[in-house]
Amino acid sequence: MAEWAPTASSAVIPDISFRFLQPYFRLPFHATSTRMLRLLRIPVEHVNTRIENVDLLAKQQIRKLCAMPRMSTFAMGVLINRLVAQMAENEAYVNVGVWHGFTYFAGVLSNGGKQCIAVDNYSSADRYSEQRGIRRFLDYYPRKAKIEAARAAFRRRMAKWGGEHHRLFEMDYREYFQYVHEAPVGVYLYDGDHSYENQMLGLKLAEPFFSKNCVVIVDDCNDEAVYRATRDFIDQSHNSYAILFFQRTCCDRHPTFWNGTMVFQRMPRPHPVPF
């Protein structure tokens, strides 16, 4: 069971706040505005985001990382980076669903000695394969080309920034946790299919590997299926978890916490008091 509110255990979370655009504030013509600001490379996220107790080098590296195609924000990158930095040496950061790699490399940069694992089968285009007629050609092939481009871009970045502790497994996350994974998971981010079933399964399959203080990051928690699956996972688990951070945004693609973010942590069970 968990308490569905931030708790006093939030020492692992960096102090992140915003100067003028708050998570509940919607930009006029939001989707177009967000896209144009990125295309023009106007650093609204960087100016808007106030971060305390994080070293300057880490923030600079995450800022540079923001130039890549991404479905996340500068604030999220810093959050991931700091959580990975706090992992024990024998633990791993596991990111399921990496696309171009922003959330993965946010954990890698400045954390060279930490084990960071990416899992992605780059299959998002497959859901279009059952379409017929013109929709198949209009939807499937452009999407497939983008996914192939993302895969190639991730490999280039891995060659540039990766090291002996960094690996990509191009396979289904279910097979990965069943047959491959071994290390205790210190930080976990599931960013695959966000249906209720996959969100729940993505948490359940990883849970046996969670370290005693594992921190789990949930993005897109504006989506009801993601929120319900996460809530049900925590409520039904035999482990104890505490919510460290929970912030919805007014809309998707928001420059603060994108489409909503939750962070929760496994907590040790209290020992029974002898009478």
Could you report the per-residue pLDDT of 144-160, keeping only the tens digit for each?
888 899 999 999 999 99
Angle in degrees, CA 16, 21, 24, rounded to 5 = 90
Task: Name residues whose C-beta falls within 8 Å of residue 127's C-beta, 6 or more positions apart in sequence.
Answer: none
| Structural domain 10-123+150-267, CATH architecture | 3-Layer(aba) Sandwich (3.40)
pLDDT, one tens digit per residue, over 24-50 is 998 765 666 666 666 656 678 888 999
Kindly report the backbone phi and psi dihedral angles of residue 115, in degrees, each rounded to the nearest multiple of 5, phi listed first: -80, 120
Q: Residue 7 pLDDT > 90, yes or no? A: no
- The whole-angstrom separation of Cα 83 and Cα 103 is 12
Per-residue pLDDT band for 138 (boundaries 50, 70, 90) equals low
pLDDT in tens, 167-196: 999 999 999 999 999 999 999 999 999 999
Q: How many whole angstroms separate alpha carbon 6 and alpha carbon 70?
A: 27
Quick: pLDDT tens for 73-131: 999 999 999 999 999 999 999 999 999 999 999 999 999 899 999 999 998 644 434 44
Q: What pLDDT score was predicted for residue 128?
A: 39
CA-only gyration radius of the chain, Å: 19
- φ, ψ dihedrals at 144, nearest 5°: -65, -40
215 within 8 A of 263, measured Cβ to Cβ = yes
Q: What is the largest CA-CA distance in the chain?
A: 73
- What beta strand segments (E) does the chain contain? 15-18, 49-52, 92-96, 115-119, 166-169, 185-190, 210-219, 240-247, 261-267
172 close to 121: Cβ distance less than 8 angstroms = yes
Can you list the positions of beta strands (E) in 97-230? 115-119, 166-169, 185-190, 210-219
SS3 state of residue 126:
helix
Query: SS3 for 90?
Result: coil
**Residues 193-231: pLDDT tens digits?**
999 999 999 999 999 999 999 999 999 999 999 999 999
Please state, in angstroms and rounded to a whole number, the distance separating the CA atoms of residues 81 and 72. Answer: 13
Q: Which residues contact 101 (CB under 8 A, 6 or more apart)?
A: 68, 118, 153, 154, 157, 158
What are the boundaries of each domain within the chain?
10-123+150-267
Cα dist. 86→111, 119, 135 in Å? 10, 21, 47
Residue 275 pLDDT level (bands cut at 50, 70, 90): very low
Name the strand (E) or helix (H) holding 144.
helix 141-161
